[in-house]
Amino acid sequence: MSLQIDNLGVRYGNVRALDGVSLKLEPGEMFFLLGPSGCGKSTLLRAVAGFIEDFDGDIRIGAESLKGVPPHKRDFGMVFQNYALFPHLTVNGNVAFGLEARKVPAADREARVAEALQMVGLAGFGGRRPGELSGGQQQRVALARALVIRPRVLLLDEPLSNLDAKLRWDMREEIRRIHRQTKITTLYVTHDQKEALSLADRMAILRAGKVEATGAPRALYQYPPTRFSADFLGDVNALPGKLSADGKAVATALGPVPLNGSALPKGLRPGAPATAFCRPESVIVVDESGALPADFVPLDAGARIVSGAFLGESTLYEVELPGQLRWRVLRHETREQGLPDGAQVKLAVAKGAWAAVPE
Ligand code: ADP
């Protein structure tokens, strides 16, 4: 079902936690709320879940307003960061809880619990207690408990934050698979941009209680509407300048930078100050021969390697350009030494990698 949030406002005393937030989740969509700590993500999720009664605006599922509808009558499934399982109940007991509350007959209940545990890969674990499970398994139980009621909407609040890196990746895959299978409209809150970029159909970036940007992951990463959203989703290699009269390039100290043909962000006017930028993976270090791969354009300036961080599969270099500009260059180095600190290099940028945001 669709979930619509209209002009939502929430206050805690003098703190305006949400201010005029409007979003629409299409039926079956996996929608992410992303933003720094304190931007209002949890407040929005709690308002949708029904834990906040006093708010401005409206929250609707399909055509039905949720104003005044208590949490247990919303038929929403919820998964929290800390699992929130009942320690004294078995896995079966935990998963069956929502069905008992809904007075689902015992025989039916058993079948649905088994089905939900099967879906999260925990068939056969029903007799254990949460204390006898790993963190990842506990989070699967929490997911099964949310899914078993066949919720109209699934709400996930930082569900992977307490898991270590490897488990987080596995669970992420699991959540994607289950979502594809069930097609439940899902609102997923995280502060981790990689989690959002890798799972979302669409996402919204919140900033101080307002929606800063919305879009599909790739589009938002490549063509963010504001500097804040550009910075939040990844490293920004910036070149300050002015948007040309035809809006197709930014005039910078290093010459004109051609922008990709995609729509320009609102608020960017011809002749106005603008920041052109590209991402670290769109920049290469030109080798001694000066030969360039097709579709790369050399930058009209030298650069100095400040430092390199070896990340295993790649190395992230910090480089300095004229005008004290600091950039980052991501380099895949196979059977090769890294570049030494202090090395003078030439850089080239992939054609079509440039975007611009208002200064
Ligand atoms: P996030 O989940 O993005 O970290 P929150 O929704 O938790 O953000 O918080 C949004 C804002 O509301 C923050 O400024 C936070 O300090 C404030 N806030 C959250 N909960 C309360 C509360 N119970 N009382 C007062 N202020 C709160």
The residue out of 174, 192, 221 marking a domain boundary is 221
Q: Are residues 58 and 106 in the same domain?
A: yes
Q: Are residues 180 and 303 in the same domain?
A: no
Q: Do the domain assignments include residue 230?
A: no
10, 34, 42, 52: residue to mutate for ligand 1 pocket, most atoms within 8 A of CB: 42
Count the neighbouring beta carbons within 10 Å of the beta carbon of residue 102.
12
* CA 45 to ligand 1 centroid distance, Å: 12
Q: Supply the residue whose CA is at minimum distance from atom 16 of ligand 1.
A: 38
Q: Are residues 124 and 181 in the same domain?
A: yes
Q: Do the domain assignments include residue 284?
A: yes
Q: For residue range 286-302, what is the model confidence (pLDDT) as tens digits?
A: 988 888 999 999 998 99
Res 336: pLDDT? 74
8, 11, 14, 15: residue to mutate for ligand 1 pocket, most atoms within 8 A of CB: 15
Tell me the C-alpha distance between 86 and 130, whole Å.
Answer: 8
Res 264: pLDDT? 78
Q: Are residues 26 and 168 in the same domain?
A: yes
Q: Are residues 198 and 243 in the same domain?
A: no
Q: Are residues 108 and 254 in the same domain?
A: no
Q: For residue range 121-141, what is the model confidence (pLDDT) as tens digits?
A: 999 999 999 999 998 999 999
Q: Are residues 215 and 252 in the same domain?
A: no
Q: Are residues 141 and 35 in the same domain?
A: yes
pLDDT at 263 over 70: no
Cβ partners under 8 Å of residue 85, min gap 6: 94, 130, 138, 141, 142, 145
Q: Which residues line ligand 1 (CB under 6 A)?
A: 12, 15, 17, 35, 37-43
Indicate the SS3 state at residue 81. coil
Res 167: pLDDT? 86
Q: Do the domain assignments include residue 281?
A: yes
pLDDT at 119 over 70: yes
Q: Are residues 17 and 155 in the same domain?
A: yes
Q: Do the domain assignments include residue 228?
A: no
Q: Are residues 260 and 203 in the same domain?
A: no
- The domain tally of the chain equals 2
Q: Are residues 61 and 176 in the same domain?
A: yes
Looking at the CA of residue 42, tell me the nearest atom of ligand 1.
2
The residue out of 162, 193, 221 marking a domain boundary is 221
Tell me the C-alpha distance between 230 and 223, whole Å.
Answer: 8
CATH number, position 269? 2.40.50.140
Question: Percent of the chain scored above 70 by pLDDT?
Answer: 99
Note down the domain range covering 142: 3-221
* CA 64 to ligand 1 centroid distance, Å: 27
Backbone φ and ψ of 299, nearest 5°: -85, 140
CATH number, position 138? 3.40.50.300
Q: Are 95 and 116 in contact (CB under 8 A)?
A: yes
Q: Supply the residue whose CA is at minimum distance from atom 14 of ligand 1.
A: 38
Structure tokens at 82: 């800390």
pTM tops 0.75, yes or no: yes
Structure tokens at 293: 């791969």
Query: What separation in angstroms does the CA of 17 have from each of 24, 145, 157, 255, 314?
Result: 19, 29, 17, 43, 39
CA torsion 185-189-190-195 (nearest 10°) is 0
The residue out of 159, 194, 221 marking a domain boundary is 221
Q: Supply the residue whose CA is at minimum distance from atom 5 of ligand 1.
A: 40
Q: Supply the residue whose CA is at minimum distance from atom 22 of ligand 1.
A: 12
Res 165: pLDDT? 84
pLDDT band at residue 267 using 50, 70 and 90 as cut-offs:
confident
Q: Do the domain assignments include residue 18?
A: yes
Q: Supply the residue whose CA is at minimum distance from atom 27 of ligand 1.
A: 12
If residue 328 lies in a helix (H) or strand (E), which one and from where to where? strand 325-331
Q: Do the domain assignments include residue 227?
A: no
Looking at the CA of residue 39, tell me the nearest atom of ligand 1.
3
Q: Do the domain assignments include residue 170?
A: yes
Q: Are residues 70 and 143 in the same domain?
A: yes
Res 16: pLDDT? 96
Q: Do the domain assignments include residue 229?
A: no
Helices of type H across 40-163 = 41-49, 91-101, 106-119, 135-147
